[in-house]
Structure 1
Amino acid sequence: MKYIIEFEAKAIEDLAKLKKSGNKALITKIERLLLEIAEHPTVGTGQVEALKGILSGYWSRRIDKFNRIIYTIEEEIVTVTIISAKGHYGDKW
């Protein structure tokens, strides 16, 4: 089953900034991670983890040492919402 991916405004801004960096390897990795998330949001590459505490209900995948994709999964409507993609979740929340 393939999930629909939606993006919050913050995630769109984050992805635009990362794309603007011109780092082709980083851009390719983000594209690959997003494809994986659409197929299997709870497993795969990028150190997939369910977040805890105040971020309970959110998931994280590592883009690189400094950046994470943070997202929620809505099984009943087969949708993944990307919340952010720049920085580490500890930097934002």
Structure 2
Amino acid sequence: MGIHFDDMAWRHYIDWQTLDRKTLKKINSLLTSIRRNGYQSIGKVEKLKGELSGFYSVRIDDKNRLVFYVRGGDVIIASCSGHYEG
């Protein structure tokens, strides 16, 4: 599986590189696990509902979630900052 970022998710990912290296390390760990194991990643993967139906999330920390979906064998990261609404 390859990993691809939506534009906003990529900007957030770049921001983590300067804002908080500990959080960046956790995100990288989650990304590696998702790439290898899909929805059976480390952490509690949750299927989202409502307007985010089809997306999944996993907790980065108390405030932030990694929101993603799998398409054609690739992992698409929709968000890696903040908490999803829905």
TM-score (norm 2): 0.90
Correspondent of 1:71 among 68, 71, 77: 68
- Alpha-carbon distance in structure 2 between the residues aligned to 1:67 and 1:28: 14
Alignment of 1:1-93 (within 5 A): 3-21=1-19, 23-74=20-71, 77-90=72-85
Q: What is the identity, as a one-letter code, of the residue corresponding to 1:4?
A: G
- Alpha-carbon distance in structure 1 between the residues aligned to 2:53 and 2:83: 15
Deviation at 1:72, TM superposition (A): 1.1
Q: Secondary structure at the match of 1:89?
A: coil
- CA-based RMSD of the aligned residues comes to 1.3
Q: Which runs of structure 1 show a deviation greater than 3 angstroms over 4 or more consecutive aligned residues? A: none
- Structure 1 alignment gaps of length 5 or more: none
Structure 1 or 2, whichever has the larger Rg, is: 1
Q: What is the identity, as a one-letter code, of the residue corresponding to 1:58?
A: F
- The alignment covers a number of residue pairs equal to 86
TM-score (norm 1): 0.84
